[in-house]
Structures are given as C-alpha cells and as structure tokens.
Amino acid sequence: MTDHHRHSVALSIFHTVTVLIVAGRFGTLREAYIADGQPKGGSKMRIVTLVLLSLTSLVSFAVRSLAAPITLGTAGNFAVLAGTTVTNTGPSVIDGGHVGVSPGSAITGFPPGSVVPPYTFHAADGVALQAQNDLTTAYNAAAGLAPTQNLTGQDLGGLTLLPGVYFFSSSAQLTGTLTLDAQGDPDAQFVFQIGSTITTASNSSVVTINGGLMPGCDVFWQVGSSATLGTGTAFEGHIMALTSITMTTGATLLDGSALARNGAVTLDSNTITNCAEAVPEPTTACILLVGVAILGMPRSRRLAWGRRLFWRALAKTNR
C-alpha cells in the first residue's frame, strides 16, 4: 500500500468515525448525552458536533500535508521569486502569489505587469529572505528523492507519466505535450530532477489529467541550472531552478510558480497562476454537509445513516 493509499484509508476511517459521533452513537459522547433512550442537552450536543466537524477539516489538512514529501514553506506564497532580479516586459499577470527577490533588490516592469491583490512585492526584505531559505530546503528535498525512472536523453513530449520521481542526468527537453496521469489520486505527486537545464519548444504543454482541482500544485521541477519556457508554452507546476528562469512571450504557468534561487526571473507577457489557498478537500466538504444534515434527523435515522456510511467506507478501504 502506497503513502497515498494509506492517506485515503486514514481519511475514510476518520471521516466515518466523525459521522458516527455526529449520529450520537460513539462511546463516551453517547453516554454523556443520551440516557433512557432520550437525548439530553441537545444544544450542547450540537455545539460539540460542530467542533468535531471543524476538527475533521483541520486534521484532513494535516494528514494531506504529511502525504507530500516536498513542502515549499513560505516560498509557496510566491508566484515569482528570484535571487538577483525580476524583470518583466509587457502585460504579464501574476495571480495567487507575491513577486519577490532576495538577496537582490531589483523588480522592474510592473507596470505594465500586474500582481493580483492581496499579493504584492517583496524586495530584499525578511519575507523574501525566508522564502529563499524555504525554497532551498524544498529544492534539496526534491533533489534527494530516490528516482523511480531515468529519462535521460528522452524528450518529454509525447510521454504519459504516472506519479513518481523522474531523473535527467543533464538537460531535459519538452517538444509537444507531456501528459501527467494522476490516476484519480488528488494527492498524486510528480517530481522531475533535472541535472542542468530544461527547455520547452514553442507551444509545448504540460497537461495533468485525472487529478484534483489544482493538480499542478503537486508537480515539482528541480532544475540544476536554468529553465526556459518557449513562446506560447502552457506549463504546470513549481519550477525550482538553481540559477534562472526565463518565460518567453506568451508562455503560461498554471498551478505553479517560477522560483529561482541564485539568478533572475525574466518575464514577457506571461500569465502565472499559483496554487490558491487551501480549501477543504471534497471528501471533507461532503462530510461537513452530511454531518450538519444528520443533526436534524431523528435518533433512529442518525443510527441508520451512521451504519450505512461506515460500511461504505469500509468497503472502499478494502478495494
């Protein structure tokens, strides 16, 4: 069983137990609030239930974060981060993250470029410095993973890859479309370890299928020197380059960021959309809605719902 499967099983069990608590049929909570077949302290029961449902969401976030071996830390709050300079030409739009530089201080070309609020600029300040430190940690973590496949010498174009760690001893090239198949796992992670450079041909693309709402958020490109996205390239994921990142005219970056440790990030009429802030995963959101609905049911129906959800979750985990 993989870490992702263990994660799904853990969430299924945790959610089911929570629903059973909501149904008033779990251990000490039942003993505390139900006696002689009649519920007591109804308002208290509802308050405790809502607290438990809230904790379900929080624990789900924590479990999900543990499933991912790479964490960007505060660097995840940046859509663009450079070591020396950030230079923009044309009406680039940066959404979902700050634009920053450290230890350098030059950010030019805004306007005509724009950063969508509430995000802003950080030049040679403590925020950008911490983000660079966290980027270094994430970069080293990605570089230290054991590869699942060596793709040295192969063009990424035309390939369909499953979640894993892909290694290039030197440079990597993308000509055409690279398809990343998450196989229905919203936490599926793709890591590319590239020894030197990555270059994409004009109008190339990275497409993630069968994933979550923002599948590119779990795609990481660890680049040993510099990354260059060709004209009109539609890219996905977080580019973590040791030196520099260049996005040529019209290139886009979806569910990701351009993070350069030591060099510059150069933009030209680009669109970068970083991962939005975390929202409850679909399973958690459904549990919250079901739990609230169950509160209004008679006790007999709460028990029936609890049993039904338990057996469904158990059947799912045994697949």
240-289: per-residue pLDDT in tens? 999 999 999 999 999 999 999 999 999 999 999 998 643 333 444 444 44
**Which residues are bridge partners to 252 per DSSP?**
234, 271
Q: 3-state SS of the chain: helix, strand, coil percent to 5? A: 35, 30, 35
Contacts of 218 (CB under 8 A, 6+ apart): 68, 187, 188, 189, 190, 211, 212, 237
Instruction: Please say if the pLDDT value at position 69 is more than 60.
Output: yes
Contacts of 250 (CB under 8 A, 6+ apart): 231, 232, 268, 269, 270
Query: Which pLDDT tens digit goes with each residue over 75-89?
Result: 999 999 999 999 999
Are 173 and 192 in contact by the 8 Å Cβ rule? The answer is: no
Nearest to 250 by CA among 227, 267, 226: 267
State which H helix or E strand residue 49 sits in: helix 42-67
Question: What b/e sequence results for 118-150 when a residue is b if at least 16 CB atoms lie within 10 Å of its CB, and e otherwise?
Answer: ebebbbeeebbebbbebbbebbebbeebeeeee
Q: What average pLDDT does the segment 133-154 reach?
A: 97
Are 226 and 245 in contact by the 8 Å Cβ rule? The answer is: yes
Mean pLDDT (the chain, rounded): 78
Which position has the higher pLDDT, 44 or 170? 170
What are the structural domain ranges in the chain? 3-67+280-317, 73-273
**Which residues are bridge partners to 115 per DSSP?**
94
User: For residues 319 and 303, what is the distance between their CA atoms, to the nearest angstrom?
Assistant: 25
Q: What pLDDT shows up at residue 213?
A: 79
